[in-house]
Amino acid sequence: MSIYKRNGRYWINISFNKRRYRKPSPENSSAGAKAYELVLRQKLSRGESVSQEPDKEVVKMPTFKEFSQKWFEVYVKTNNKHSEILNKESLLRAHLNPFFGEKKLDKITALDIESYKSSKSLSGQSPKSVNNHLIVLNKCFNSAKDWEIIKKSPKIKLLKVPPQSFDFLTSEECEALIENSDGMLRDLIIIALKTGLRFGELIALEHKNVNLQDKILTVHQSISRGKLGSTKSNKIRYIPLFDETSAVFAERKGDKGFIFSLDNKEPLNPPLCLRWLHKACDKAGLRKIGWHTLRHTFASHLVQRGVSIVVIQSLLGHADVKTTMRYSHLSDDSKREAIKVLNKNNCHNAVTISNFDNNNYLNVISSQTEIAVKD
């Protein structure tokens, strides 16, 4: 083969008078390589030397730091949300570049990756945190491969992560927390407990997102690190509203802007809201919790009341049902009921549901969650 491509560069490989000549094409394209091959053959046929031609087009393999900087500017800033950009910038600066930075990109091996995992684990990083580093590293290598800078990326194996524990409030604790809060804080707590919104989604709610006539809340945006953007899963979801939640939104009814904001109409400040929540916890005699605990509480109470995991996944906006499955252990009764259907006295003919449209879907959500979230 007289023309071939290696590491993203076209090369000429020809023989003349029993001597082989390998030269990079000055123009890195198939057509350019064919034209350059013709020039080389003409020079050789005229007896002209080609060995002194400078190989200035040979691609220099970048170090990991050099490539990661380009990857961050070209890929990360273009394709990621603001919070993800900040996260990747931090991981590259504080962890990946100090370890891999000076190594040539094509010289980083699976052994180097294992050494990194060992180093970070010994330094006290949790398996979940180390895996977050590895995911960013893998995306970086995949881009290098897609851009034909390296032929293959090193094998990266994630660490095993033990099941994550989480905290949630009992029904009595929920009542105590609400009773010991007032004003905007009380409204925030009620909406968080009754809808399961992430805190960023909660403070990003606008008046246009609330449909009091149909009692539906539309969740399509979130505030992260001070920037308004899409939800974590980049999807829109719809949450049914009932008496207490509808009453909160009705009292705060407006034409435009954020539902929860201070006098300057700017989004609420997360650290300030966390201090408010901690004061309410102290007043109620509860342990200090974070806003995400209220989301865990919403999901946990639904599971305990027998609501389907798939429905809970939809309400929470989880991209992967595995994330929702962390709550499944809270419903031992559901396992008993699942096996019970195999009892011969409880068997029924299987049916398939056809024409399952969006209205049907919303009806399923409403019917299965009414007991759990109705006030």
Q: Which of 312, 309, 269 is nearest to 291 (CA)?
A: 269
Q: Would you place residue 338 in the very low, low, confident or very high pLDDT band (cuts 50, 70, 90)?
A: low
> Span 307-334, mean pLDDT?
85
Q: Are 340 and 346 in contact (CB under 8 A)?
A: yes
Give, in order, the Cα–Cα distances in Å from 218 to each of 223, 228, 308: 15, 16, 21
User: Model pTM?
Assistant: 0.66
Top pLDDT among 344 and 30 is at 30
Is residue 317 within 8 Å of residue 237, measured between CB atoms? yes
The CA-CA-CA angle for residues 229, 88, 201, to 5°, reads 25
Q: Which CATH number fits domain 168-375: 3.30.1600.10, 1.10.443.10, 3.40.50.2300, 3.20.20.100?
A: 1.10.443.10
pLDDT digits (tens, 9 = 90+) for 128-186: 999 999 999 999 999 999 998 999 999 999 999 887 788 999 999 999 999 999 999 99
Beta bridge partners of 21: 14
Q: What is the mean pLDDT of residues 334-349?
A: 62
Residue type, 177: L
pLDDT higher than threshold 60 for residue 367? no
Residue 312 confidence (pLDDT) above 70: yes
pLDDT confidence of residue 34? 85
* pLDDT > 90? residue 351: no
Contact 194, 242 (CB under 8 A): yes
CA-based nearest residue to 123, from 99, 139, 156 = 99
- Looking at residues 29-37, what average pLDDT do you find? 86
- Indicate the Cα dihedral angle 363, 369, 373, 375, nearest 10°: 60
d(CA 113, CA 99): 10
| Res. 93: pLDDT tops 70 | yes
Which amino acid would we find at residue 225?
R
CB of 160 within 8 A of CB of 19? no
- In this prediction, residue 233 carries a pLDDT of 85
pLDDT at 327 (0 to 100): 86
Cα 165 from Cα 148, distance rounded (Å) = 42
Domain 64-146, CATH 1.10.150 — does that match?
Answer: yes
| Boundaries of every domain in the chain | 3-45, 64-146, 168-375
Give the end-to-end CA distance of the chain in Å, rounded to a whole number: 75
Amino acid at 70: K
Least confident range from 21-25, 47-51, 81-85: namely 47-51
Q: How confident is the model at residue 200 (pLDDT cuts 50, 70, 90)?
A: very high
Whether residue 43 contacts residue 50, with contact meaning beta carbons closer than 8 Å, is answered with yes
How far, rounded to the nearest angstrom, does the alpha carbon of residue 367 sit from its chain's CA centroid? 30
Residue 52 has pLDDT above 60, yes or no: no
Q: Between residues 188 and 40, which one has the greater pLDDT?
A: 188
pLDDT band at 7 (very low <50, low <70, confident <90, very high): confident
Which DSSP letter does residue 93 get? I
Region 212-240: what's the mean pLDDT? 92
Mean pLDDT over each residue of the chain, to the nearest integer: 86
Higher confidence at residue 22 or residue 55?
22
Best CA proximity match to 231, nearest among 318, 299, 309 = 318
Mean pLDDT along residues 248-266: 86
What is residue 234's three-state secondary structure? Answer: coil
Tokens of 269: 């400040």
- Burial of 103 (C-beta count, 10 Å sphere; 0-12/13-18/19+): middle
Local structure of 50: helix, strand or coil: coil
The answer to whether 153 and 141 have CB atoms below 8 angstroms apart is yes
- C-alpha 293/C-alpha 314 separation (Å) is 19
Range of weakest confidence among 26-30, 44-48, 336-340: 336-340
